[in-house]
A and B are shown apart, each in its own frame.
Chain A
C-alpha cells in the first residue's frame, strides 16, 4: 500500500505569482477586520499569523479534481485561526457572503471555531491538540485506499504543548504517512505570554521533530514562495513539518506580538487604522 515519495510529490509551482498572493492576503486581512466590527470577540491576531500559510495551502498546494472540488484535504487544527479559512472559503464560493455576515450571529452557521459539516470544513477543531491525530488518521486512510491524496494541517505552536499532538507525531512517523504535511504557525505566543519566555524547554523545534522521525524545516511563514519551495523539495518517505516563523497579528502594528489581540476586536478607530496600514503596506 505504501507509495513511493516521488509518486505523491507535490508538483512544482513555477507559476506562483507572489504579487497576486500578497494582494489576496491583504484582501483577506481587510475582510477579517470588517467582520471584527460585527462581533465583540474573535481571534484576529491568531488568524493574521497564518494568512500566508493558509493562502499557500488553498491556492498553491491543494490540488483539484476534474469537477473542480479539492482532491487534497485540509485540517485547521488551530481552530481559533479559522477566520482566515472562512474568508478564503468565501472567496472560493464554498461559503457565502451571508455566511460571513452572520458570523457568530443568530441564524448563522459559522462560529469562532470550525464545525465539521459546514461546507469546506473538514474537521471540527477548537480544543487544541486534536487536529494532528485526526490528520494522521485521514492520511493513513488515504494510504490504505491507495490514493495519492495529501492531508495538510495547520497547528499553532501552543498546540505542540499538548501531549496528544506528540502521540500523533510519533504515530504518523511510525506509519510513515508521507502524505501528511503539517505547518506549525510559530508565532511564539500562547494566549498568555511569549512561549520562548515561559517554556524554554519547548525549543529547539526542528531537531525535535526530526528526532521523532519527521522531515522538518524552519521557514518564514509569511513568505509563501519559501514555504512552497520547502514543500516541493521535501525528501518524502515520512511526514513533514514546516516550522513557520510568523508574527502574531501580522500586518497591523498595534496587534503585532501584543497578547490581548489573541481575543480582542478592534474599536472603530483601531479598525480604520488597521485598514490604512494594510493598504499602505500593499503600495
Chain B
C-alpha cells in the first residue's frame, strides 16, 4: 500500500503543482523519494515535529495548495490531535493526513507505535472523512480521490508494503462513501477494511469450501458510512461478520450493530476486533493480531460454532 500510494502521488504530483507532501522525519518510501528529488520545494520534512506538520498543511491548504501530511499513524493523529481537530477539521480544509502502519502493523515497536484507536478517534471529529483501503489497487483509487476532492479533511489509513491484491479485478469500482463487494454470496457477509482483508478472504474461502455462500465487502470508507449499503447487506444475508484491526470502542462493528437496531434488522452480527487492551507482547503482525483473537482459525471456528 505504501509504495502504491507513493507511485500514485508521484504521478498525480507531476501534473498538479498544488500537491505537496509534508512528512515528520519519516523516510520517503518508493516514489515519494523520486517526488522529493524532482520537486524539492513540494516535499517538506518538519523533522520530529508533528504539530507544525499539521499546522503547516492547514495554512498551505488555505492558500490554495493540496498538501498531504504523512507519517506513522500514531504521529499523524495522536501527537498533533488538536491541530488535526482545530486547524484541519474545524476549518474544514481539503487536506489528507496519511497514517502509515494503521492498527498494530508495527508489531515489534510496542504500543507507542500501535494505532489501535485511530478509527474511533478520527471518526469522532466533525468534517473528517476516514478511508482505509485494503490493498494496493484500492490504495491507488483512494489516493486519487483524496488528491482531487474538495470535501474536507481525510484520514487515510494505510498498512505497510507487500499486501496482496484483492480488488484490481473486482466488478465494483472504488467509490468514496460506498461499500464495495469483492465477492457476492447470500448466506454470510464478511465486512473488513485495511490489510486485515487478507484474513477475511482466507476465512471466506474456507467457508465456501464448506458449502457456504459468502459475500466479501471492502468497507474502505469508515466515515461517512454507507448506511444504505449496510442496510442492504443486513437484509440480504443471514449473518454479518465484521473483522477489523481496531479497538472495540467506536469500531465499525458497534456502528453496524447500532444501525441494525435502528432498522430493526434481525440478522445476527458477529464482530471481531482488537481488545480494549494495550499489547505488551512482540512478534509478527499476525502473531499480535492472534493474541487479540484475530486469526483465520479463531474467527472461522467461531463462525462455524454459531452457524
Contacts and interface: CB of A to CB of B under 8 A. Distances in A.
A167 B51 CA distance: 7
B65 A144 contact: yes
A144 B41 contact: yes
Interface stretch (A42-50, A131-139, A195-203, A224-232): A131-139
A175 interface: yes
A260 interface: no
A130 B64 contact: no
Contacts of A143: 41
Nearest to B52: A167
B60 A141 contact: yes
A127 interface: yes
Interface stretch (A116-124, A208-216, A265-273): A116-124
Contact of A144 (B42, B47, B49, B55): B42
Given A137-B58, A137-B59, A164 B42 contact: no
A20 interface: no
B301 interface: no
Interface residues of B, number: 29
A79 to B, nearest CB: 10
B182 interface: no
Interface in B76-112: 82-83, 86-87, 90-92
A21 B170 CA distance: 68
Contacts of B87: 124, 130, 133-134
A76 interface: no
Given A116-B91, A144-B42, A144-B65, A168 B60 contact: no
Contacts of A136: 52, 55-56, 59
- Interface of B, helix, strand, loop or mixed by DSSP: helix
Given A133-B56, A168-B52, A170-B47, 10 more contacts: A123-B91, A129-B51, A130-B87, A134-B59, A137-B61, A141-B60, A149-B63, A164-B51, A164-B52, A167-B52
A139 B59 contact: yes
18 contacts: A1-B41, A124-B87, A126-B86, A127-B86, A130-B55, A130-B83, A132-B55, A133-B87, A134-B59, A136-B59, A141-B60, A141-B62, A142-B63, A144-B20, A167-B49, A167-B55, A168-B51, A168-B52
B54 interface: yes
Interface of A: 1, 73, 116-117, 122-124, 126-127, 129-130, 132-145, 149, 163-164, 167-168, 170-171, 175
Contacts of B56: 133-134, 136-137, 140, 168, 171
Given A167-B51, A171-B52, A133 B64 contact: no
Given A123-B91, A124-B91, A130-B86, A141 B59 contact: yes
Contacts of B61: 137
B54 A133 contact: yes
Contact of B60 (A117, A122, A123, A137): A137
Which of the listed residues A130, A142, A163 has the most CB atoms from chain B within 10 Å of its own CB?
A130
B44 interface: yes
Interface in B1-47: 20, 41-42, 44, 46-47
Contacts of B233: none
Contacts of B90: 116, 124
A129 to B, nearest CB: 8
B57 interface: yes
Contacts of B59: 123, 133-141
A126 B87 CA distance: 11
Contacts of A122: 62
B64 A145 contact: yes
A116 B87 CA distance: 10
B65 A133 contact: no
Nearest to A134: B59
- Most chain B CB neighbours (cut-off 10 Å) among A1, A149, A168: A168
A130 B63 CA distance: 16
Nearest to A126: B86
Contact of A137 (B41, B42, B49, B57): B57
B60 A138 contact: yes
A164 B20 contact: no
A128 B86 CA distance: 11
A24 B61 CA distance: 34
B55 A134 contact: yes
B91 A138 contact: no
A127 B82 contact: yes
Contact of A171 (B46, B67, B86): B46
Contacts of B46: 167, 171
A196 B51 CA distance: 27
